[in-house]
Structures are given as structure tokens and as C-alpha cells.
Amino acid sequence: MLRQLHKLALGDRLKLVLALLLTVTTLAIGVVARPLIHLGLTAWHDRGDRMPVPSGSVDDASRLNQTRMQVVRVSGDLATAEVQLRTALRAATTRGLKVTIAGSRHTMGGHTLYPNGISLDLSQFRQMQLQPTTRILTVYSGATWAQVIPYLDRQGYSVAVMQSNNDFSVGGTMSANAHGWQPDRPPFASTVESFRLMLANGKVVRCSRQEHPQLFSLVLGGYGLFGIVLDVNLRVVPNRMYTAHRVTIASRDYVQTYRQQVTADVGMAYGRLSVAPDRFLQEAIVTTYHRVAAAPTATLVPPEPGLARIVMRGSVGSNYGKQLRWQLEKASGGEAGTNVSRNQILNRPATLFENHQQAATDVLHEYFIPPTSLPLFLEKCRQILPKHKVDLLNVTVRNVRPDRDAFLHYANREMFGLVMLFNQQRNPAAEANMQSVTRSLIEAALEVGGTYYLPYRLHATPDQFQRAYPQADRFFQLKRQYDPNELFQNYFYLKYGKQTL
């Protein structure tokens, strides 16, 4: 080759070298400059221009539910709070107003809202006390995981079952009956020993599996329709050190891989599905956290958004961004290979990745699918989603074991939960499209023996809701039995529960 090069005239040799240089430079620009330019532009545009909610109104995480309400900020002191709550309930009854209860307002369907009603804001109601001998944490329902985790961390403990982020209140978690990255565990309700509940008439009752067991099961996953949860006794677990392990697989092999990877030493596990166009829902990454003998690190490091946020936000409205994100996730996502404490993993706010643009919002869906139906459901999703031209940013997968505690349960057998995050414009056309795709996805889930999660947008038709939750009629009958004046109401109740005479 070199000998042939020498045979060429000087001018031709120069031309050849220049052509080579040009090719290498173009390749380098493609490999390095394109992602840099893409991420640089994303960072430039990723500046908050979100308008605050006007005073006298409240909204939830959807940013699509602004509602005028009178907000009562509940005291952090138990005795004062009880008096304040009773007074608010009496005043609402006298004035014919409805009452909603709010933790962190991360539901998306107006579950904390009612037009011109009274909103009980429990965010200051957040004291807690751990009994290390019994491993029971007594915590007021307004406390968020962001407050609970550092408290438990200092004493070597952690939360047994919770969402994948720390933004949520204990009361809101109970009322949605959340679940997360804890493999082979039933939802949150399974970790609740007992709680005290203020009923619509102001009376306080203790609920557990032995005392008022029916109310116990109705309140867990009951979306604030039965009363105000005051203090809760929760079972907690020791904090542990884990090392993360990651495998990339075909999504049709998800369940089989999950069973192989989740060995007895795994304390947390989740999956992610590709949303990049060339491998849309066909490739998956399964991350497992294996217990290691090391003592948990002494301090929780405050999480920083950094590059991960830019990579994630760079996938909004961009196939290239989705492709880039997936490649980066496969190469270096999660904490693969490093040691990290359980509390450090759990103590991450979802707000680090939230949308900052005024014209758009991020909305969540979740579908619970029986293990054997997962490949079929994914096939249906691959048909439905592109047809609606929705901007799917993320899909995570979690395992949920059967729930024996909540009345309005979503997992009567083992399920794999598929959490989908979409970016959506805040306008009627985008909302109609999201409603249509949601209904199609719910139908697909129902066809394969699955169901869907209730804290998100109320796009399901009443008929779909009934088919997904056949126990709903009885649930709402019991609601009216415990709260005959229907004092506790919200948009969820208005859409699916209220009797129309």
C-alpha cells in the first residue's frame, strides 16, 4: 500500500491525504460533535419558564388541573392538627363544601382537587419516631420520603417498599398504594402495620389488620375518600450496601432474564425498555442491586441533576436524542459496577428530571401485566404508540407480587408494571390524543389479563375502569357508608364513583 502511494505523483498524494483527513474529520464530527451540539442546545433551552399557579388556585403534577380551592395548612403538632382538622370538617359540612386531602400533589388526575372545595395541606404534618427494637417507624402522614430516608439512614434503617423517587408523602403513598424497585414484594400496603384515621364526623379510629380491618383495606389505595390518615406505623428494613449489575437483552426475554438475575441476594431491581426508534420496545436493560457485605456509607450525598438530566431532556421530541440516551444508558447507565447504599438509591427526587417548559408537561401511565402476557402486550404497544404519534420518553419495568391488603388492588396476582413517561403539549388537541392512546393501551392491557394504575390522568372510560377494577362498585358503596354526606371528594370520585341519580 505504502509502495503504491510512493508511485503516485506528489499532487495526487496530497489529494489522497486531504481526502483521508476529510473523512476522518467528518467521522469525528459525527461521533463527537453531534452529541455535543445536541446536548449543548438542550442545556441552552432547558431553562425554566414555568408560571406559578395563581394564588387561590392549586394544581397537581399534571399541570393540567388548575382548580380554585381554599387551602388549610395543617399544623405539624398532632394535638393542634387534630383540632384544626375537626374544625375544617365541621366548617365544610356547615357550608356544604367538599374536602380534599393533599400530600405532595404528585397524582395527575385531580385526586387532591375539587372545585371551590377545602384542600387540607398536610405537608407540615411530618414528625417521626423509630422504635429500633420492633423496627416500626411511627410517622405523620404529611412526611415525604425525602424527610423519612435521611432520618432512617442515621439509624441504619431504610424504607421497605416505596416508589422509585423520594418526592411523595406517606399519606399519598398509602392512598395510591405505591410500589417500586423492591423485587418480589407486594405493594406498599404490605408494610403498613396500623394507622389512625379521622373520619368525616371528626372521630379518630385506629385501623390495622385486627382493628377496623375493612377500613384498613379501603384506605390503602383509597385515594383519600374515607378520611384523613394521621399517624402511621410502618415496618422498616435495615439499610444495606449494594453493587449494581446490568444486562442488555431482547425485551421478549424480560421475564425469563428477570427470574435469572433476581437471585436471593438482590435487594432492588428494575428494567428499562428502549424508546429509540430502531429498537422501539424491543431491547431492555435489566439492573439488579446485589447485597454486599460492606457497611452502608455514612452520609447520603445530595443527588445532582448534571448530565443525566440533559441527556434525558434531550430526548424530548428528538429521535436522535432518544437514540443517544439509549446508547449512553447501555454503556454507562445506573451505577453498574459500583457500590451504593439502598438509601442513596431511594433518596432521589423525580423533580431532577421534570419538564421546565410552560407549553408542555410530562405525564405518566402504568400498566400491570401478568408475566406470561408481557411479550404480547409489548407487541400491542408497538402497534398503538406510533399510530398516535405520542412522545414516549421512558419505560421502566417493575415486579409486583399479589396484594392481599388493599380493597381496590391492582395486583391480584404477580404483575410486571410498565411505567411510561410521555411529554405532552398543554393544549386540547394533545390532551385528546393522549386520552385516545391511553384508552387503547388500557384496552390492550385488559385484553391480556392486565390492568392500569389509578393515580394518573383520568382518561379511562368509566366502563374500562369498571373492567379493570371489578370491586369498584362495592368500594364506592362502602365509601358512602363511611362518609354518608360524601364530604371527601375529588375528581377521581366525581368521574368514577359518584352516583348519578
Nearer to ligand FAD, 163 or 344 (CB): 163
CA distance 165 to 332: 21
| Closest C-alpha among 286, 466, 440 to residue 377 | 440
CA distance 418 to 314: 22
Nearer to ligand FAD, 35 or 221 (CB): 221
Give the shortest CB-228-to-ligand FAD separation in angstroms.
Answer: 5
First to last CA, the chain: 90
Nearer to ligand FAD, 130 or 411 (CB): 411
Residue 414 to residues 183, 286, 480, Cα–Cα distance (Å): 11, 18, 31
Pairing between β-strand 70-73 and β-strand 136-140 as defined by DSSP bridges: unpaired
In the block, cell 410517622 appears at 139
Q: Where are the beta strands (DSSP E) in 103-152?
A: 118-121, 128-131, 136-140
Give the shortest CB-102-to-ligand FAD separation in angstroms.
Answer: 4
Nearer to ligand FAD, 35 or 192 (CB): 192
Give the shortest CB-232-to-ligand FAD separation in angstroms.
Answer: 9
Residue 184 to residues 233, 266, 481, Cα–Cα distance (Å): 22, 10, 35
Site residues for ligand FAD per CB under 6 A = 61, 100-107, 111-112, 122, 141, 163-165, 168-169, 171-173, 175-176, 178-180, 223-224, 228-229, 350, 364, 455, 490
Nearer to ligand FAD, 386 or 402 (CB): 402
Entry field: residues in the chain: 501
Nearer to ligand FAD, 164 or 251 (CB): 164
Q: What secondary structure letter does DSSP report for 111?
A: T
Q: What secondary structure letter does DSSP report for 410?
A: S
Helix (H) or strand (E) holding 393: strand 391-400
The three grid cell numbers given for residue 399, joined into one nine-digit string: 415486579
CA distance 392 to 275: 7
Nearer to ligand FAD, 230 or 262 (CB): 230
In the block, cell 417498599 appears at 161
Give the shortest CB-100-to-ligand FAD separation in angstroms.
Answer: 6
Give the shortest CB-124-to-ligand FAD separation in angstroms.
Answer: 12
Give the shortest CB-25-to-ligand FAD separation in angstroms.
Answer: 42
CA distance 13 to 6: 8
What torsion do the CA atoms of 386, 392, 395, 401 make, to the nearest 10 degrees? -80
Nearer to ligand FAD, 179 or 459 (CB): 179
Give the shortest CB-298-to-ligand FAD separation in angstroms.
Answer: 27
Sign of CA dihedral 336, 341, 344, 346: positive
The three grid cell numbers given for residue 145, joined into one nine-digit string: 420520603
| Residue 219 CA from chain centroid, whole number | 20
Phi and psi at 73, nearest 5°, equal: -85, 115
CA distance 34 to 27: 10
Nearer to ligand FAD, 350 or 384 (CB): 350
Nearer to ligand FAD, 177 or 257 (CB): 177
Give the shortest CB-333-to-ligand FAD separation in angstroms.
Answer: 17
Pairing between β-strand 360-369 and β-strand 391-400 as defined by DSSP bridges: unpaired
Give the shortest CB-133-to-ligand FAD separation in angstroms.
Answer: 27
| Residue 373 CA from chain centroid, whole number | 22
Give the shortest CB-111-to-ligand FAD separation in angstroms.
Answer: 4
Give the shortest CB-189-to-ligand FAD separation in angstroms.
Answer: 11
Which residue number is nearest to ligand FAD in terms of Cβ? 172
Nearer to ligand FAD, 180 or 271 (CB): 180
Nearer to ligand FAD, 38 or 316 (CB): 316
Q: What secondary structure letter does DSSP report for 495?
A: I
Give the shortest CB-360-to-ligand FAD separation in angstroms.
Answer: 15
CA distance 376 to 373: 5
